[in-house]
Amino acid sequence: MRSGRLARFSGGLPGLLIILLPAAAQAHPGGSDTSLITGLMHPVFGLDHLLAMVSVGVVSAQLGGINIWRVPLAFVGAMAVGGALGILQAAALDVELGIALSVAVLGIGIVLAHPRMSPWPITALVLLFGACHGHAHGREITVSANPALYTLGFLIGTSALHLLGVLIGAAARMQAALWTGLRLAGGAVAASGAAFLLQALG
C-alpha cells in the first residue's frame, strides 16, 4: 500500500521535470546580472548537468542508508571547490570531457548500484565529477555577477536536482517494476553520456 502510493506519487515526477525544462535545453546558456537566479538556473538548464546531478541523487538512494546524504554532499562540496577554482579561472584538465564522462559513468552507476555494494568507488568518482561541474559553472560567471551569490545559486540548484534524484531512487526502491524501469533509464542516461563524450572528443 505504502509503496503503491509512493509509486503513484513519484510517477509524475519525470513528466513534471519535462514540463519545467525549456523546450530546447542546452548546456551553459550564458549569464545575466541577477547572480543568484543565474546560478540557480544554470544546472537546471544544461542537459549534461541536469542528467548528472539527478543521477547522483538516484544512485545515492539506490545505495541507501547514510549514502543518501553522503554522496550528494560529496558532489556539492567538490562542486563548491571546483566552482571557486573556475571563478578564479584556474587552469584545469578538460572539464567538458569530465562532465560528459560523469553522465556516462553515473548512468552506468544507476544500472549497477544496489544497497550491498561499497559506496566508496562511486563517492570518489562523484568528488571528481563534482569538481568538474563546479569548475564549468564557476568559469562561466559573468563579469557583473556577484561570485558568492552565483555560487550559492548553483549549489542550491544542484541540491534540488539531487533531491529530485533521491525521490526517484527512493520510489524505485519500494517497487520492483520501478526498480527495473530505473535501470533502463540509467542505460539511457549512460547512452546520453556516451553521446556527450563523442561531442567532447570531436
Partner 1 sequence: MDRTKLGKSVLTFVLVVGAVVSTAVDWNATHLFNPAWHPHARFHDALFLALLDGMSLVVLWLLWRRSKEPGVGVTVAALFAAAVWTPFFYIEALIPGTSLLAADNVPMLKVGGMNFAPNLVIAAVLFLLAAIGYGLARDARTDARKDA
Which positions touch partner 1 (CB under 8 A)? 2, 5-6, 9-10, 16, 19-23, 32-34, 36-38, 40-41, 64-65, 68, 149, 152, 156, 159-160, 163, 166-167, 170
Task: Report, in Å, the least distance between residue 24 CB and partner 1.
Answer: 9
Task: Report, in Å, the least distance between residue 197 CB and partner 1.
Answer: 28
Type of residue found at 98: G
With respect to partner 1, which residue has the nearer C-beta, 176 or 201?
176
**d(C-alpha 39, C-alpha 13), whole Å:** 23
Short-list 16, 23, 43, 25, CA closest to 168: 16
With respect to partner 1, which residue has the nearer C-beta, 9 or 120?
9
With respect to partner 1, which residue has the nearer C-beta, 55 or 60?
60
Q: How far is CA 194 from the centre of its chain?
A: 16
With respect to partner 1, which residue has the nearer C-beta, 10 or 123?
10
For residue 174, give every residue at least 6 positions away whose Cβ sits within 8 Å of its Cβ, in sequence order, or none: 2, 3, 6, 7
Short-list 188, 74, 166, CA closest to 122: 74
Burial group, residue 65, by CB count within 10 angstroms (0-12, 13-18, 19+): exposed
Task: Report, in Å, the least distance between residue 78 CB and partner 1.
Answer: 20
Task: Report, in Å, the least distance between residue 9 CB and partner 1.
Answer: 5
